[in-house]
Amino acid sequence: MKCIVCDKNEAVDHGQCLECLSKGLQISVTGSIDITICPKCGSYKIGNRWHRSAMKANLASKIEKHVSSGETGTDLRVVADSIEIKRTEGRIDFLVTADYRNIVSQPRNLSIPGKILLNSCPTCNKITGSYYEAIIQMRTLDAEYSTIIDSAMDLIDPFLVNMESSSNDSFVSKIVRLKEGLDLYIGKKNDALKISKFLHENFFSEIKTTKKLAGRKEGEDFYRYTYLVRLMNLKAGTLMYHNGVTYILETATANTLKLIDASSERRVDVQQNDFYSGSYTYSNEVVPLRKYIVLASGNDETQIMDSVTFTTHFVKGNFSGEISAFDYNGKFIVKRN
Ligand SMILES: [Zn+2]
Ligand SMILES: [Zn+2]
């Protein structure tokens, strides 16, 4: 039986020949494709990844996922060279061929809706140092630059190096040293969050987060985040006050301040929240902390000698060897570690 359409070839299905069946295939396009192109270097982003080359080939395989014929045994191919990006029209034009039971159809013109954005890529941003999503402000309690900021920087440095090498769009745009601290401009907001948490875990500190509308990016409101990390930089011996009691700061760890009640010599632990909520106040006054040599010890009392002036004093507790003690108005209190 001849094909009912062309009346030339032998009919195989639905009274039609393979060629006519192939020509009559309904090819549909679903969905859309978003692509971001860097106007500086021509890199492009499809999905979450930036690519440097082979844009048409990558787009072709992406578009192939959006075309279908509804006929099993049909292999649809997007002709990569035919792809044309119509940015202002918001669509991508292309040719597609259908291989239907080994009969390859004439290419057909199709198009898929697409949002085509121009945006500079992470590499170009990094080079110009202009792009950042967040700022980490490293500060001290008194808003003066202190060595604790250098220590914090030393600690996070390997963290930053690892972050930059593990992901293409992770980067530090710039680091600005100010008289009150350091500002780190961070490419990705999530990286900034990680860095500030890492600092918080390693230093007695508080984090304050603020965000500010910085414009529009890829059709959405774009916020810049600021993570203010306030590092505790008080020295051992600083006088602190709480509920009418005077304390001497003994040590500071990442989570806890150890204070000594100056009159009872009782030890008190203070957590970060209590300290930063302002329930403890502190002065600029730091009681002297010096080294002493133990002369004699017993009955919960130790005689110590100042190794420079040779004056002797008594402290509570039994100690041996060399110790450090606070001199609180002539009352000596041994510093524990
Ligand atoms: Zn036919
Ligand atoms: Zn670029």
Ligand number, closest to the Cα atom of 45: 2
Among 93-102, 168-177, 260-269, 286-295, where is mean pLDDT lowest?
Answer: 168-177
pLDDT at 129 over 70: no
Reduced to 3 states, what is the DSSP secondary structure of residue 146? coil
Residue 71: the pLDDT is: 80
| Contact status, residue 221 vs residue 213, Cβ threshold 8 Å | yes
Tens of pLDDT along 19-67? 888 888 889 999 999 998 888 888 899 888 888 888 999 999 999 999 9
pLDDT at 315 over 80: yes
Among 24-33, 82-91, 94-103, 156-165, where is mean pLDDT lowest?
Answer: 156-165
Spacing, Cα 36 to ligand 2 middle (Å): 11
Ligand number, closest to the Cα atom of 17: 1
Spacing, Cα 101 to ligand 1 middle (Å): 14
Ligand number, closest to the Cα atom of 128: 2
Spacing, Cα 8 to ligand 1 middle (Å): 6
Ligand number, closest to the Cα atom of 19: 1
Spacing, Cα 119 to ligand 2 middle (Å): 8
Spacing, Cα 314 to ligand 2 middle (Å): 70
Ligand number, closest to the Cα atom of 121: 2
Q: pTM for the full model?
A: 0.61
Among 108-112, 129-133, 225-229, where is mean pLDDT lowest?
Answer: 129-133
Mean pLDDT for all residues in the chain:
90
Spacing, Cα 60 to ligand 2 middle (Å): 22
Q: How distant, in Å, are the alpha carbons of 2, 5, 20, 22, 184 from that of 17?
A: 8, 8, 5, 9, 69
Residue 162: the pLDDT is: 81
User: Which residues touch 74 (CB under 8 Å, ≥6 apart)?
Assistant: 25, 98, 99, 100
| Contact status, residue 62 vs residue 51, Cβ threshold 8 Å | no
Under the banding of pLDDT at 50, 70 and 90, the label for residue 247 is very high
Spacing, Cα 97 to ligand 1 middle (Å): 18
Spacing, Cα 50 to ligand 2 middle (Å): 9
Spacing, Cα 12 to ligand 1 middle (Å): 9
Residue 88: the pLDDT is: 85
pLDDT at 18 over 80: yes
User: Which residues touch 132 (CB under 8 Å, ≥6 apart)?
Assistant: 173, 174, 185, 186, 187, 224
Residue 295: the pLDDT is: 95
pLDDT at 168 over 70: no
Q: What is the mean pLDDT of residues 249-268?
A: 94
User: Which residues touch 237 (CB under 8 Å, ≥6 apart)?
Assistant: 248, 249, 286, 287, 288, 289, 326
Residue 165: the pLDDT is: 72
CA distance 87 to 163: 34
Residue 70: the pLDDT is: 78
Residue 104: the pLDDT is: 82
Q: What are the residue ranges of helices labelled H in 65-112?
A: none
Reduced to 3 states, what is the DSSP secondary structure of residue 57? helix
Q: Which two structure tokens, joined as six digits, stand for 164?
A: 């930059």
Q: What is the mean pLDDT of residues 268-282?
A: 91
| Contact status, residue 185 vs residue 132, Cβ threshold 8 Å | yes
Spacing, Cα 143 to ligand 1 middle (Å): 84
Spacing, Cα 286 to ligand 2 middle (Å): 54
pLDDT at 226 over 80: yes
Under the banding of pLDDT at 50, 70 and 90, the label for residue 166 is confident
Q: Which two structure tokens, joined as six digits, stand for 70?
A: 């509804």
Spacing, Cα 210 to ligand 2 middle (Å): 29
CA distance 113 to 85: 10
Q: What is the mean pLDDT of residues 324-337?
A: 93
Among 22-26, 107-111, 318-322, where is mean pLDDT lowest?
Answer: 22-26
